[in-house]
A and B are shown apart, each in its own frame.
Chain A
Amino acid sequence: MEYDALKATQAYLILWKLIDRYFPESRWLELTDIPSEVLSSRIDTLANDQLSWFPEPEKLKDDIAKVKSFQGDLLAEDTIVRLSSLRTYLRDCALEYASGLSAEGDEPFWQR
C-alpha cells in the first residue's frame, strides 16, 4: 500500500496527545477536550492495523507499544524524564509527517 502522510500524521498526533496528557501545563494550549476514551480507542485501532500505509511499520509499532506501556501508570520521577523525551519525539514525528501533507489548491482556513 502507498504511504499515507495523513494517516502517519494522525497516528503520531494521537500517540503524542496520549503522552502529552501526563503534562498538565500543556492544557492551556488545547482548543478542545479530547476524551481519553477516544484517544485510547484510536490507539487500539492503530495497534490492530497492519500499518502497510506507513514506510516503517515496525517503528510505528514500537512507538505504539511504548505509549501503551505508560497508560495508567503512576509516574516515578525517572519515568517522567523518559516520558518527556518520548513526548518531544512523538510531537516532532507528527510535525515531520504533517510537513508531507498537501494543501494543494486549498486556501488556508485563516484566509477564507
Chain B
Amino acid sequence: MQRTEEELLGIFQGLLLKCLLVFGDNAWAEKVVELCQGDGEKVRKVLDAAFIDPRFIACAQALESVEREILSNQDLRQKHIESLLALRDTIDKQAKQRARVREETRYMLNLVPYPGRSASDGYSSQTWLAIKVNEYLHSGSYYCWFAGSLNSMTNGDDSNPIWLYLLIDRAVSQGGINNSKIKDIRANLMSAVDAELTAQGRTSEISAALAAIAKAPLDLFTPQIWRIKRGALGARCAKGLYYPDEFLVADLKPGEFTVIVP
C-alpha cells in the first residue's frame, strides 16, 4: 500500500514521540509535539538535539537514517514504511520493558532494610479467666510471665507465648473441657486463689471463689496476646531461671501492656 509523504511524516513523528517517551523525558515529548506539526526540518532539529543524550543515540540515529532516506528518495518510501513499522515495534517492546523495569524498581525502592524487632517489648498469652482472677486477687496489677519474642525460639513450648495461645485457643474452640492444659490452668488459678486469699485473711471468700473457677465455662479460658512495654518495667521485671527469654513481672499495671490479640 502506497503511503503519502504526509502519512510517512506522521508515522515518523509518532515514532520520535514514542522514542522520547520511552526515555521518560516529558520536556522532550512536549517539544516534539510542538515542533512536529508537519515540518520535517523542525523534526530534524529535535533529532539533532537528541544526540546530546547518549541514551538516545541509537534510536535517534535509526530514526534519522530512515527520515533521510524517506525525504530524499520517493521510491524508497514503501520500503521504509516497513522499516519504520519494524522500528516502531522495537520501540514498543523497549517501552514495555522499561515500564516493567520501572515497576520492579519501584518495588525494590520500597524494600527498605527490616528494622528489627523492638528489644523493649515483651509478649504474654493470658486467658480471660486468669485476667479476671488476677484483677480479683491483685487489684490494679497483674502477675504475668512473658517472653521477649512472641514466638520465642530459645524457650520451651510452655514458655512460648504463641505456642500457649495456639494450644489454649484450639482447646477452647474445640470444646476441650477435659484438655490437660485447661485443667492445669484451672488448678493453678484455684491454687493462687486459695494461697492469696488465705495470706490476705480473706478466708470467707475462698469457697465461693474456688467454686466459681471450678465451674467456669470453657469460653472463659479464651486466651489473649499482650504486648508488654518491657522497657518501662525496669527492676520490676525479673529474669526467669529456666530459659533465657522468659521474664516475670509480679505487678504489671494496665498502662504497661496492650492487648494485641483480644
**A residues lining the B interface (CB < 8 Å):** 6, 9-10, 13-14, 16-17, 20, 24-34, 38, 88, 91-92, 94-95, 98-99, 101-103, 106, 108-110
Listed residue (B132, B210, B246) with the most chain A CB atoms within 10 angstroms of its CB: B210
B158 touches A25 (CB 8 A): yes
**Per-residue contact bits, chain B 210-221, to A (CB 8 Å; 1 contact, 0 not):** 111111100010
**B residues lining the A interface (CB < 8 Å):** 128-130, 132-134, 136-137, 143, 145, 156-159, 164, 180, 183-192, 194-196, 199, 206-216, 220, 240-242, 246, 250
Expressed in whole angstroms, the Cα–Cα distance for A103 and B212 within the complex equals: 7
Expressed in whole angstroms, the Cα–Cα distance for A106 and B213 within the complex equals: 13
Please give me the residue from chain B that is nearest to A99 by CB atom: B214
Residues of B within 8 A of A29 (CB): 130, 184-185, 188
Number of A-B contacts (CB under 8 A): 117
Q: Specify the main secondary structure of chain A where it touches its partner.
A: helix
CB distance from A44 to the nearest CB of B (A): 15
Known: A103-B211, A103-B212, A106-B208. A31 touches B192 (CB 8 A): yes
B156 touches A34 (CB 8 A): no
Q: Specify the main secondary structure of chain B where it touches its partner.
A: helix
Residues of A within 8 A of B211 (CB): 98, 101-103, 106
Please give me the residue from chain A that is nearest to B160 by CB atom: A28
Known: A31-B130, A101-B211. A17 touches B164 (CB 8 A): no
Residues of A within 8 A of B159 (CB): 25, 28
Residues of A within 8 A of B199 (CB): 38
CB distance from B105 to the nearest CB of A (A): 48
Please give me the residue from chain B that is nearest to A38 by CB atom: B195
CB distance from A112 to the nearest CB of B (A): 8
A30 touches B188 (CB 8 A): yes
CB distance from A69 to the nearest CB of B (A): 21
CB distance from B122 to the nearest CB of A (A): 13
B164 touches A28 (CB 8 A): yes
Please give me the residue from chain A that is nearest to B207 by CB atom: A6
Residues of A within 8 A of B214 (CB): 9, 95, 98-99, 101
Contact of A9 among B130, B143, B183, B190 (CB under 8 A): B190
Residues of A within 8 A of B188 (CB): 20, 26, 29-31
CB distance from B155 to the nearest CB of A (A): 9
* Nearest 3 pairs of A and B residues by beta carbon: A25-B158, A98-B214, A103-B211
Expressed in whole angstroms, the Cα–Cα distance for A38 and B5 within the complex equals: 106
Known: A9-B210, A91-B184, A102-B211. A32 touches B143 (CB 8 A): yes
